[in-house]
Amino acid sequence: MAVALDTPVLPPTVHQDTVDLLRFSTAGSVDDGKSTLIGRLLYETKSIFEDQLAAVERASRQQGADYLNLALLTDGLRAEREQGITIDVAYRYFATPKRKFIIADTPGHVQYTRNMVTGASTSELALILVDVRNGVVEQTRRHALLSSLLGVPRLVVALNKMDLVGWSRDAFEQVRGDFERFAAGLNTHEITYIPLSALNGDNVVEPSANMPWYDGPTLLRYLEDVPAGARESTTGFRFPVQWVVRPLSHSHHDYRGYAGQVAEGTVQEGDEVLVLPARVTTRVTNIDTFDGPLDSAHAPLSVTIRVADHLDVSRGDMLCSPDQPPQSSQQLEAVLTWLSPDQLRLNAPYNLQHTTRRARAVVSELSRLDINSLDADAGVNTLRLNEIGRVSLRVTQPLFFDSYRASRATGSFILIDPATNNTVAAGIIQ
């Protein structure tokens, strides 16, 4: 049932025995109930402080509601509360005795697709809400496609507002069938369907007595039990150089290190590494951090690496595994999500930022993806805001990359308008 305004709540519980972490994003169309569902999870897991609850109670009364509007727990911006929509990505945190969670509550409106891309890009699971009364709409398909393209391995399709269709199994099965037919064209291998009511709490934390025909897990039980954690790297060691460290102190006049973040894999003191683009090998002598030296470093640690030889290495170069080097090319095949109100211009120069390396690039070929059919339309010469396309790019200098499926860090890039310095597109390398 909806939470009454005078319902007491205990302070957040700190679980000392939480053992791992799951990052997931929410998505869906406007008014599908994403913020209410996240608010319900926070409330039921006692992850709300008393002052937060009091503020939401006041805001609920001001809106004329006779119940606690849990959506206000995540719609933090004033414009979000006034309009009743989510605009920015709201990151929320909660825990149960089994696991910690980081939620990226992403906007549903097509205008904020770029925010959804941001939230899903680091997620291990995408929770897509569907208003069971409306079924699978364009934004449902858009968010499912983007989650698939961004390499999110699992989708949970939550069919919300089941109370408004009389808890009908037929309504659930019809929408489930529609989504399954669409998802057959996606590169997503695990999809779970859960019928629920975020407003009333049915199948969110506790099983619903209103849907005895459903024998699957509640949403929270699924989130607790699904495999999580960092995936094993299949690409080998990747270390884009961000900065060459040369201290000014005379006592360290011979110090030379290469600072950056380990993008993939692990490196140990004594390991042989390949330097790109020079394509020479050297040996790691030291791994330094602000807190002292390390014997080894793994993704995503930020470290300074020193090597045995004096080499010409600068920002944008890469240290990597000699036996598993990345691809290197000035020609890329990629998928672009267009993020700018200004349309894509074929063969126009853009700045391409890939890891720490920046180069000029032009889009030489383009086909636009149809959100509904997943077909590629080659008879176009531009992309508009929030449209998705498959492109070929020519780059002025070689990039060192992996496919996005193999590495999110080295398989992604952004395009920047050189005139305005605005980011205009997010790309993933095929």
Number of domains in the chain: 3
Using the structure block, give the residue that is written with the tokens 């939401």: 56
Q: 216 and 138, same structural domain?
A: yes
Ranges of residues in the chain with a pLDDT under 70 are 1-19, 49-90, 107-114, 229-233, 248-252
Q: Is 16 a domain residue? A: no
Question: Are 211 and 289 found together in one domain?
Answer: no
List, for residues 161-200, the tens digit of each pLDDT value. 999 999 999 999 999 999 999 999 888 879 999 999 998 8
Claim to verify: residue 84 and residue 208 sit in the same structural domain: yes
pLDDT of residue 393: 97
DSSP state of 229: S
User: 38-41 long-range CB contacts below 8 Å, 24 or more apart?
Assistant: 38/73, 38/74, 38/90, 38/92, 38/103, 38/105, 39/69, 39/70, 39/71, 39/72, 39/73, 39/74, 40/70, 40/198, 40/199, 40/201, 40/204, 40/205, 41/94, 41/103, 41/204, 41/205, 41/219, 41/220
State how far the Cα of 53 lies from the Cα of 73, in Å rounded to an integer.
8
> 234: Cβ–Cβ under 8 A, 6 or more apart, which residues?
406
Residues 424 and 416: beta-carbon distance below 8 Å: yes
Q: What is d(CA 29, CA 79) in angstroms, rounded to the nearest whole number?
A: 18
Q: How far apart are CA 177 and CA 182, in angstroms?
A: 9
Q: Which of 225, 258, 292 is the last residue of a domain?
A: 225
Using one digit for the tens of pLDDT, what is the confidence trace for 276-334? Answer: 999 999 999 999 999 999 999 999 999 999 999 999 999 999 999 999 999 999 999 99
Which of 225, 257, 284 is where one domain is finished?
225
Question: What pLDDT was estimated at residue 31?
Answer: 77
Same domain, 89 and 215: yes
The DSSP bridge partners found for residue 258 are 244, 305
Retrieve residue 340's tokens.
């700018």
User: Strand, helix or coil at 409?
Assistant: coil
Judgement on whether residues 51 and 174 belong to the same structural domain of the protein: yes
Q: Cα separation of 18 and 1, whole Å?
A: 29
Biggest CA pair distance of the chain: 77
Do both 310 and 335 map to the same domain? no
Residue 342, domain extent: 327-429
Summary mean pLDDT of the chain: 85
The partner residues of 426 in beta bridges, in order of sequence, read 337, 414
What is the CATH number for 310?
Answer: 2.40.30.10
Among 195, 225, 255, the domain boundary falls at 225
| Same domain as 414, residue 354 | yes
- Domain check: are 68 and 209 in the same one? yes
Instruction: Residue 90: give its domain's CATH number.
Output: 3.40.50.300
Residues 296 and 335 in one domain: no
Question: Is the CB of residue 221 less than 8 Å from the CB of residue 64?
Answer: no
Phi/psi at 81 (5° precision): -70, -40
With respect to residue 6, please indicate whether it lies within any of the assigned structural domains.
no
- Report if residue 63 sits inside a domain: yes
| Structural domain contains residue 7 | no
Residues 120 and 165 in one domain: yes
